[in-house]
């Protein structure tokens, strides 16, 4: 566990405001931003995100349906589309991708917590609010 992992999980759990997350994300260089987006994509998959999460994630991320990340997540093979979202290059698109991937992680991890971890688990990120 490192500071980045904690911060991203706190954002996904609503323990930090998204404005703080965007400010942090914007402070990173392009390479670091790409690493963060790939990390988020990986954790969305690990949390068992499904295509049915797409519309709600777009809404939570406050994206228009015509924004590139919103279009990508709504079509094609879901895991592949998450990878395309994580690979977006223009800064404005990376910001949107960041917000969308946080929203996907929020939805998928909340479901995972309810379905598989409600009786307790060993996931350190599920204990952040108690820390």
Whether residue 119 is contained in a domain is answered as no
Compute how many other C-beta atoms are within 10 angstroms of the C-beta atom of residue 89. Answer: 10
State the pTM of this model.
Answer: 0.88
Task: Look at residue 118 and tell me if it is in a domain.
Answer: no
The rounded distance, in Å, linking the Cα atoms of 66 and 120 is 40
The angle that helices 30-46 and 91-116 make with each other, rounded to 10 degrees, is: 30
pLDDT recorded at residue 122: 52
Give pLDDT tens digits for 56-78. Answer: 999 999 999 999 999 999 998 99
The DSSP letter of residue 125 is: G
In a domain, 83, yes or no: yes
User: How many domains does the structure of the chain reveal?
Assistant: 1
Separation of alpha carbons 89 and 14, rounded Å: 26
Q: Tens digit of pLDDT for each residue in 20-56?
A: 999 999 999 999 999 999 999 999 999 899 999 999 9
Expressed as residue numbers, the domain containing 72 is 3-108
In a domain, 120, yes or no: no
Is residue 95 in some structural domain?
Answer: yes
């Amino acid at each position: 566990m490192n500071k980045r992992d904690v911060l991203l999980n706190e954002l996904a759990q609503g323990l930090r405001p998204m404005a703080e997350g965007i400010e942090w994300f914007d402070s990173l260089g392009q390479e670091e931003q790409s690493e963060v987006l790939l990390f988020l994509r990986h954790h969305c998959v690990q949390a068992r995100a499904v295509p049915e999460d797409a519309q709600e994630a777009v809404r939570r991320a406050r994206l228009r349906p015509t924004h590139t990340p919103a279009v990508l997540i709504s079509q094609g093979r879901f895991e592949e589309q998450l990878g395309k979202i994580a690979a977006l290059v223009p800064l404005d698109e990376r910001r949107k991708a960041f917000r969308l991937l946080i929203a996907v992680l929020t939805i998928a991890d909340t479901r995972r917590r309810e379905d598989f971890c409600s009786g307790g688990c060993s996931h350190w990120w599920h204990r952040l609010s108690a820390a």
